[in-house]
Every structure is written in C-alpha cells, then in structure tokens.
Amino acid sequence: MNIRWDEVVDRTEFVPSPPVRHCAVPRPDEYAFAVAGSVDVNVWLYGTLSACTTERPITLKLSLPFSVREVLAELRTRCGDGFEQRIVGCNGTKYSFCRIFVNGVPNEDLDSSVHVDSCPPTIEIILVTCTEGG
Amino acid sequence: MDHSRISAVAEVVDDAMHGDDVWIASSCAFCYGSCSIRAHRVDGVVVKVEGNPDSVVGKGRLCGKGISGLMTHYDPNRLTMPLRRTNPRKGLDEDPGWKEISWEEALTEIADQLRRVREDDPRKLMIQRTTTVTAGRVPLGAFANAFGTPNTSVAGGGLHCGNGAHFLSGLMHASWSVVPDFQYCNYAMFFGASKGHGAGHASASNMGLAADARVRGMKMVVVDPMCNFAAAKATEWVPLRVGTDGALALAMCDVMVNELDIYDLPYLQAKTNAPYLVGPDGLHVRDPETGKPLVWDERSRQARPYTDAASADMALFGEFEVNGARCVPAFEKLREHLKKFTPEWSERITTVSASKVRRLAREFAEEARIGSTIQVDGVTLPYRPVAAIAFRGAQGHMNSVYNFFAIDLLNQLVGAADVVGSCLGFNPACHGYPETGRLAYVPKPGPDGLMVTGMWMGYHYPYPLPEPKLPVQLGLQELFPLSMNSPFQASSDQEALWQKFDLPYRPEVLLNFGANILMSIANKEAVAESLAKYKFFASIDLFLTETTQFADIVLPDCGYLQTLDSRSNFPFIFSLPGGMGEWCWPIRQPVVPPIGQQRRFQDVLLELADRIGIRADLNAAYNSAMNLEPPYRLEGDRKYTYEEICDAELKCNFGPERGLDWFKKNGVLKWPKKPQEVYWRPFVDVRVPVYWEFMIPVYEKMDAIAAPRGIRIPREYYEPLPDFLPCLSHKCQKPGFDFYAFYYRDIIHTNSFTMENAWLDEAAQLDPFSYAIAINAQSARKRGLHDGAMVWVESESGRRVKGRVRLTEAIHPEGLGIAACAGHWAPGMPVAKGKGVFFNELLDLDWEHASPANLNLDLCARVKVTLVENGK
C-alpha cells in the first residue's frame, strides 16, 4: 500500500518562518517628527551603490505611509534611471543579491508599509554580488 | 630567505603562557570540513591536536590531516615578515627578489592601489580566496561588497567542485551538498563522491556515520573509475569509463520507469512538477489568468492550475487537449525521454554491462520500500532507505549539470529526498535557536511552486534562475545563470571573450588570500599569463606558494591555530553533519600568538578599509553577511575590532550571555534537532523540478546575447530533460591516446596546501599511490609498462607531465588516476617541492574546455602514455 505523501504528517508542526518583528503602522499624526503627513527618511547606500551620489546619507521626504518601492522610485530621481535596475529585475522583484534593511531589519517585501516609530526611519541598501563556491 | 629567526619555537612563546597546560576548543582548517578540535598547549607550545568529543562536528574524530596541523603551524618556512618584490618581471622562472619591508610600508602601498582603482572603477579589483580556510568567506566577501567589486573567485576548489554539485543540491535538496541519511539508509550509491570517507563537507562526522552504517548492514555501491577511498570500503565497486556517470544513471532511471514500473507516484504528484502539463513547444501549459502551470485533474476531468487540484488527482500519464493544444504531463514526457537510454546503450558508453545496470536499478528501486513509513522520535515519516549521491567525480566534466541531474533523478523517482533513510541535503531547514528564534530558515515555494532554498552560501540562489544578462563580471557569470565559478578569470582566451562582450574595464589589482591558482585550476602557463597582467598583486599567505611568487607585496598570515572565526560551521548547509542529532555552533579561536610579524587577515582587511575610507561600507557588509540585528548591528564607521564583530554575531544569535568570551570558554553550543527539521520535505509545500522548463527561455535569452557576438552556445546543454553529452576526451580519435586521465582527492592531502606538511608528506611517501600515477595492471603490461616505470603522460593538445606508474587492479582499464594536486615547484615550499605529479598541467583552460551550461572546467583528458627514455 502506498502512503499519501500529503497525508503522512501534519504540516502545521513546522514553523516556516521566524516571528515577525514589525508592529502595526501607526497613524501619521503619531509621529512627533512627521510634518504634515510626511517624514524624512535617511537612506544609506553602501559599496558600489555609494558611487551613485556624494550625499551620504541621502535624506528623502516621503508621504506617510510609504513602502521601500517608493523609496527606490525616489532614489531613481536622485541617482539616475539605472539605479533601480541594479536593485530589481524586469519583473519588479528585488534581486536576491540586493539586501535592504529597514531600521536594521532585513526587508524582502518592497511593497509593505515601512514601520516608523520614535525616530526617522533608516533604509540601508547594499549589493552582495560575490558568488560562492567550494 | 633567512628563516632562522623562527627556528626556535621558544622565541614566540608569550610569557603569560609559560607553565600552562591547557586544552583549547577550536576548529580545524586543514580542509573546508572545519571539524571541531581541541589543541593541547603546554608552556605556550601546541603539542597535540585532536577531535573535540563535545562537538557534533566530528564527535571527537579527526582525520590524519587534522592531527598533523601543528606541523604546518611550526613549519620554519612560514612567512613571518611582509615582503616586497624587487624584480618587476613576472613569470614562472623569474626570481621575485624578495625584500623584507615594514607593515606600514606594505599597507600604505596596498591602500594606495586600492584607493586608486576604487576611484576609477571598483570592478578593477579582483579578490580571490582559498576554499580550504572557511574563515575567509565572510571577511573577504564583506570586503569585496564594501569595496564594490563583483569580481571574486574561490580558485580551483570552487571551479572544480562547486558549479555542478552545489547548484543541483540547492535546486533539488535546498542544501550545498547531499549525503545518505547514514543512520537509516540501507542502500547508498556513490557516483564519484567520497562523503563519509575522509574528504569533503562534515568530513570526520560522515566518516563515523558511514562506518556505523556499514556495520549496521547498509549496502554501499560506489560507481567510480578507481577503487580508492570510498570504493575500497564499499559492498560493491562499479568501475566505469571516466565522465560517463550520467549515462549509467539515465539507464537505471529507464529500467525503473519503463521496465520495472517502480516509482513513488504520490511523491511525484505532491512534491515535484511531474504533473505539470507540457505543450508541443516544451513549455508548460499555463492558466491564462494567473500564469500558473496547469495539471490534468482526474477528478474534474479538466486542466486546472496546480494550486487548485489535489495532488492525488493530478495525472502523470496520458495525453490531453487544453485550449486546442495537445499536451502531456511532464512525467509522461520524462518516461518517453528515458526510453532511449537503455542499459545496452549505456553499456557502450560506460562499459558497465547492461545486466549489471538492470540489477543495480532493481536493487535500488526495491530497497526504496515505496509507500513505507517509520517513526522517528514519535513522528511518523516517509521511509525511503536509499540514496544516490554525487560530487566532484561525476560533476567535474562538460556534462556536469546533466550528470548530476540524472543521478538525482534516481532519488526523485522513488521519493528518496529528505525523508528517513534517503538522500539528504545538509540541514536545509532549521527551527532556529530555541532561546532567541534566530537562525530559523526553511525552503519556500518560488515561481511555479518550485523550491527556493531557505539558506544559501551567498545570495545567488539556484532557483529562480537569474535573467541572463550581458556580462560585466570578469568570469562572465551573468550570462550563464547555472554557473557560480568561472574559468575565464584566468583563461588563455579571456581577453578575446572580454572583447566579444564589450567588457568596459580590465582587472588591475589582485588581492589574494591563500589561494594557489597557479596549481589549482589548470595548466600553469595560462594562469601565469593572466596573473602577470595585473598591475598590482598583493597576497596574504602562509607560505611563498607558486601563486604568491607572482605578488608585488606579500603579507604574512596567521594560521588557523592563531586566528578567530565566530562561525566555523555556519551556514549549517555547508559542513554541519546532516541527519538526526544536534545542532552545533563551534568557533575557531587563537591557541597561540602570531610568529614574527604575522597578522590575522581579518585585522588586515579592517585596517585597509580604514585607510581607504570604506569602514562604514564594511560595517554594513558585515551586518548583511552576519544578519546582525539591533542592538548588535555595527554602526556607522565605528572602528570595531574583529573580536567585537565576532562577539556581536554570537550575542545576536544566542543572547547577551553567550558572546565571544562564553564561546572561548565553552567551545560549542548545542541543541537537539527535531525530526520535522531533518526530514522537512513532507512538512513544507514545495516542489522540485524533474522537468526543467526554465532551461528553454534561459537558453533563448542567452543565445540572443551571445550569438550576435559570435559566441555559439550549444542548445543541447539547455534541454528540460537530462541527456548524456560526451566530454572532449570521449571524442578523441588520435591513435595512441587510449587512457582517460583524471585526478582524485588523496585522503591524506587537501588540494595543494598540505603537501608542505612534513608528517603528511611522510605518509604520502609511504602510500604507493599518493605521488604516483595509478594505471590498470593489465592495460599497462599490454603496453610494455612495468610497475615503477617513469612515464610521460601527454594530452591531446601536447601538454605533458612526468611521473612514476603504479600498476593496480583497482582502476578501470582505460583510467589513469593521479592523486591530489601535487608537483609543487616553488622554493618557498621545500617539503612539497618536486613531490608527486601535477595533473592540472594536462588541462586546457579556455572556452572550448568549459561546460556551456555551468562553466565547469572539463577535468578529464585523453592521454598517451610513453616511457621516459634516457631521462627525456
């Protein structure tokens, strides 16, 4: 008798991902540093991306709430059309070798709202293009 | 050089160590297995190195290489001072004219060069490292990412092994390598692999596990041209013609599917893309709205997206009409495809008899016990106690990708993938460290529901394949998405290729960490030419190797008994043993101080970053590489020491109480594995591809870039189903070239590095094969060769090496086996110099000898063997 692969175990036993560390996005009027529904966002570009501009960090003013994709769109205006192509592929998904950190936490979802709490948000972007072997 | 200054060990003993007698837990670095060790230090001198019984990595076992580590540490030929080249000419026969200089002078010049190219174009910096010392992975990678160069290389260790084995292991098992589940496996087939027999990932651990499995009664069949370390311990050795492993595996698949009718239907339905419908163009038939592949739902008798039908209702056979087009399930396509690979066809290619192929296929398929379950720690799991694994031997060829694909199909057909007793990836899923939740990862579904690894050694995942692009890397890897390592960073035709692809820059500065690419890739003339082109070359090394002889500045490195590494066995997919047991996090820590003016390479890289003003970038790169999270992230351009960086990683993962001091004192941290982690596949909703539809669009995009530039990429390497494609050596028709030369990992040596170790050299001299050429006794006698004869081995292209033959019955009649990566010629390695045979001299290094699929170099050569007469 052949046991069904999808009936052998209870798949809820596996915890697929670490706990989410983000909180709900607060209302814009809760930010002491937000002015008229917008916020200053500090963007640090590292490694090869740092050559895109002499400004470091780059301070962007964005309307709340905002996503990382909106940050990238704003960066395009500062760093040129080629900037986004180094971060996302033609289908709009982020390259796996581009690492984006929002307030120090890895961000894989370009479209989710950036959580903002007590201070201006910081976005860090670095390309980790080295291949591996061995 | 005058080495007298380091001849007395007492000179380097720290006063504080006088009178001490301590055992210090650390990690070996004599191969990338990084087994856990403990070093016995008496009066400041290391007197013994042995396995650490407290650690899962080796469980107290250590191989002969690891035991011999102190001989390399105390080798009087170790570098102890920075050196400057005074002879501007670079070549194989040039004396560099070394002159000792200060660290300040050395670092100033290197920093000036780095600053210059970074301002010009950071891609002009090439960074290469050895794979032997895993402690170099994060620091060198972080430095490259901070600097902004994509040009890195892991030399021969990567190019010879990594491209086929790791890509396929990642795509099909979400791990860097695969291994039989030794604790439960009953029938293991090894295709050119030595997992469990003294080499490779989790080396010492697997040795113990494999030995226990053999005692338990696991049948082990080794398919290999040579009966050496794995085959000698096997139940059965199956000798075959070099480079034909894929043909044998395909024939076994044909027997299982088309003759025996044995396969795990529910597994293929639920865990692979076997049910996905394939149209006349070879592409999946897709749902117009969602773009998802369609399957034929037997219950509703219609085509539905794969997410909308129960897997038990998905058809694997038959022909259907969907939207006016005829289509078949991918498995039907595979079944038809396999019919041409009959055992009789295979016999002509592999020399393995058709009857033996049928027997092996039957044994494998029947022992798989399809449909059975077993309880492990109270959890009921699928039980498939068979495994087919492969590594360097099977995949080091032009047909690298298909060989490995075909071999893993054996596992996939019977559902022997990451379940009890089966072919396991090394730790593809982890619930994380229980107290912090850190280190949790698991494979997840990607495009078309196919598996994306949860953890990888870098950020170029095997799947989804990146879009082929006009390359800007020196190795052209962007154009070849199945590749990782490239021969074109040193090939004889690199300039012609760069011109064809309009590469907008040329490399100018090389930073080397311990790699000896003059020996580890291919013939030395081609590599020497590429090395001589660099305007500036700085090498961090333990010895004046053949490659470091080409440097402008040499920096004396600390060895593994003098250095620090907070993650000697992480990622867990690399060299933590697979199977049940415990998770384990060891570190590597200094046992003794530097000798002379040696400095740790990690400190040197931090210093260089400060001098060229990229400390903030380097901190960010470390944050990324180590996934550091607040409050342990490295901030701004603060000048952290390497101890502080290691401490941050450990505390971030294991909590504030378990930083570097805790690990230095306690050695390792362990926690138990759960069955749901080790045998994760039933719990995770991912599929793996037994039909590689993605190869069709990938090829078309590659061809659109390459063809207009006069580069023809053969389509036959990019078909969705595996085939047998011969190596160049199989096509050789020249009279007299009747042997297939190959090299194999000697059990007592690691790449070219350990040849300088006095104990290992002594052992190698006692071994009849380590420094000789193994040749089949009957074949040799037919050609008038006697045991011990000195011969020339000459390749088709006229490359030749000289060595002494050893006659043996334990090699295929057409095989010619050369051990390890021997034949050093550098004066800075006098123990190694002149010992053994330099096999790689036979290898051509160009486009023609690289796999058009994954750029793997073809590592076999058709050769002619002639007696050396009158010394010529």
Residue A33: per-residue pLDDT: 55
- ipTM of model: 0.91
C-alpha distance across the termini of chain A, in Å? 42
In this complex, the residue of B150, B158, B266 whose CB is nearest that of residue A4 is B266
Residue A116: per-residue pLDDT: 80
| pLDDT range class, residue B5, cuts 50, 70, 90 | very low
Question: Which residue in B408, B633, B63, B464 sits closest to A96, CA to CA?
Answer: B464
Q: Given a cut of 60, is residue A23 above it in pLDDT?
A: no
Average pLDDT, chain B: 95
Range B209-234 average pLDDT:
96
Q: Where do we find the tokens 């670490």?
A: A18
Question: Which residue in B194, B198, B226 sits closest to B774, CA to CA?
Answer: B226
CB pairs under 8 A between A and B: 178
Q: Given a cut of 90, is residue B808 above it in pLDDT?
A: yes
Rounded to a whole number of angstroms, the distance from the CA of A25 to the nearest CA of chain B is: 19
Range B114-121 average pLDDT:
97
Q: Given a cut of 60, is residue B102 above it in pLDDT?
A: yes
Q: Given a cut of 60, is residue B252 above it in pLDDT?
A: yes
CA distance B749 to B764: 8
Q: Which residues of chain A make contact with B417, given a CB cutoff of 8 A?
A: none
Contact B652, B646 (CB under 8 A): no
Helices (H) and strands (E) in chain A, counts: 2, 5
Residue A48 to residue B149, Cβ atoms within 8 A:
yes
CA distance A102 to A111: 13
For residue B417, the 8-state DSSP code is B
Give the burial class of B4: count Cβ atoms within 10 A of its Cβ; 0-12 exposed, 13-18 middle, 19 or more buried. exposed
Could you tell me the strand order of the sheet in which A38-45 lies?
A58-63, A38-45, A122-127, A98-102, A105-106
Q: Given a cut of 60, is residue B625 above it in pLDDT?
A: yes
Could you tell me the strand order of the sheet in which B277-278 lies?
B277-278, B325-329, B320-322
| pLDDT range class, residue A132, cuts 50, 70, 90 | low
Q: Which residues of chain B make contact with A104, given a CB cutoff of 8 A?
A: 623, 629-630, 633
Using the Cβ of A92 and the Cβ atoms of chain B, whether some distance falls under 8 Å is answered with: no
Residue A129: per-residue pLDDT: 82
* pLDDT tens per residue across span B737-766: 999 999 998 989 999 999 999 999 999 999
Q: Which two tokens stand for residue A117?
A: 């709490």
Rounded percentage of chain B residues whose pLDDT exceeds 70: 98
Residue A3 to residue B382, Cβ atoms within 8 A:
yes
In this complex, the residue of A17, A106, A132 whose CB is nearest that of residue B442 is A17
Q: Given a cut of 60, is residue A31 above it in pLDDT?
A: no
C-alpha distance across the termini of chain B, in Å? 32
Q: Given a cut of 80, is residue B45 above it in pLDDT?
A: yes
CA distance B527 to B258: 48
Residue B292: per-residue pLDDT: 98
Mutation site for B-interface testing, chosen from A9, A15, A99, A130 by largest number of B Cβ within 10 Å: A130
Residue A12: per-residue pLDDT: 63
Q: Which residues of chain A make contact with B484, given a CB cutoff of 8 A?
A: 131-133
Residue A134 to residue B269, Cβ atoms within 8 A:
no
Residue A34: per-residue pLDDT: 56
Torsions phi, psi for B379 (to 5 deg): -105, 130
Residue B117: per-residue pLDDT: 98
| pLDDT range class, residue A133, cuts 50, 70, 90 | low
Cβ neighbours of residue B16 under 8 Å, at least 6 residues apart? none
* pLDDT tens per residue across span B404-415: 999 999 999 999
Q: Which residue of A has its CA nearest to B119?
A: A51
Q: Given a cut of 90, is residue A99 above it in pLDDT?
A: yes
CA distance B111 to B115: 6
Residue A82: per-residue pLDDT: 87
Q: Given a cut of 60, is residue A22 above it in pLDDT?
A: no
Q: Which residues of chain A make contact with B395, given a CB cutoff of 8 A?
A: none
User: What dihedral angle (degrees, nearest 10) is formed by the CA atoms of B64, B65, B71, B72?
Assistant: 180
Residue A5: per-residue pLDDT: 74
Residue B19: per-residue pLDDT: 86
What's the full length of chain A, in residues?
A: 134
Degrees to nearest 5, angle at CA B78 with B511 and B19: 125
Average pLDDT, chain A: 79
Residue A130 to residue B485, Cβ atoms within 8 A:
no
User: In Å, what is the CA distance from B449 to each residue of A55, B257, B684, B688, B697?
Assistant: 42, 25, 11, 8, 18
B106-112: Cβ within 8 A, 24+ apart? B106/B82, B106/B538, B106/B553, B106/B555, B107/B604, B107/B607, B107/B608, B107/B611, B108/B611, B109/B84, B109/B552, B109/B553, B110/B511, B110/B538, B110/B553, B110/B608, B111/B608, B111/B611, B111/B612
Q: Given a cut of 90, is residue B186 above it in pLDDT?
A: yes
In this complex, the residue of A15, A16, A134 whose CB is nearest that of residue B162 is A134
Q: Which residues of chain A make contact with B432, given a CB cutoff of 8 A?
A: 18
Residue B820: per-residue pLDDT: 87
| pLDDT range class, residue B460, cuts 50, 70, 90 | confident
Rounded to a whole number of angstroms, the distance from the CA of A109 to the nearest CA of chain B is: 14
Question: Which residue in B429, B461, B428, B436 sits closest to B629, CA to CA?
Answer: B436
| pLDDT range class, residue A7, cuts 50, 70, 90 | low
Q: Where do we find the tokens 């701004």?
A: B636
Residue B467 to residue A89, Cβ atoms within 8 A:
yes
Contact A64, A77 (CB under 8 A): no
Residue B14: per-residue pLDDT: 64
| pLDDT range class, residue B483, cuts 50, 70, 90 | very high
Residue A3: per-residue pLDDT: 60
In this complex, the residue of A5, A6, A11 whose CB is nearest that of residue B415 is A5
Residue A90 to residue B163, Cβ atoms within 8 A:
no
Using the Cβ of A129 and the Cβ atoms of chain B, whether some distance falls under 8 Å is answered with: yes
Residue B137 to residue A124, Cβ atoms within 8 A:
no
Rounded percentage of chain B residues whose pLDDT exceeds 90: 93
Residue B373 to residue A8, Cβ atoms within 8 A:
yes
Q: Given a cut of 60, is residue A17 above it in pLDDT?
A: no
Q: Which residues of chain A make contact with B437, given a CB cutoff of 8 A?
A: 18-19
Residue B161 to residue A134, Cβ atoms within 8 A:
yes
Furthest C-alpha separation in chain A? 68
Q: Which residues of chain A make contact with B485, given a CB cutoff of 8 A?
A: 131, 133
In this complex, the residue of A16, A95, A126 whose CB is nearest that of residue B624 is A126
Rounded to a whole number of angstroms, the distance from the CA of A98 to the nearest CA of chain B is: 8
CA distance B356 to B90: 54
In this complex, the residue of A6, A18, A47 whose CB is nearest that of residue B432 is A18
Contact B373, B421 (CB under 8 A): no
Element (H, E) at B527: helix B524-532
In this complex, the residue of A51, A96, A106 whose CB is nearest that of residue B148 is A51
In this complex, the residue of B270, B457, B461 whose CB is nearest that of residue A5 is B270
Segments of B370-525 assigned E as strands: 373-376, 379-382, 386-390, 423-425, 444-445, 451-452, 509-513
In this complex, the residue of A16, A124, A133 whose CB is nearest that of residue B442 is A16
Write down the pTM of the prediction.
0.95
Range B572-579 average pLDDT:
95
* pLDDT tens per residue across span A60-93: 999 989 999 999 999 999 998 889 889 998 888 8
Q: Which residue of A has its CA nearest to B628?
A: A104
Using the Cβ of A101 and the Cβ atoms of chain B, whether some distance falls under 8 Å is answered with: yes
Residue A134: per-residue pLDDT: 53
Residue B429 to residue A6, Cβ atoms within 8 A:
no
Residue B190: CA atoms inside 13 Å, Cβ hemisphere, count? Answer: 34
Q: Which of A108-117, B70-79, B490-499 is least confident? A: A108-117
Residue B814: CA atoms inside 13 Å, Cβ hemisphere, count? Answer: 21
Residue B17: per-residue pLDDT: 80
Range B795-812 average pLDDT:
97
Residue A134 to residue B154, Cβ atoms within 8 A:
yes
Range A24-48 average pLDDT:
70
Using the Cβ of A118 and the Cβ atoms of chain B, whether some distance falls under 8 Å is answered with: no
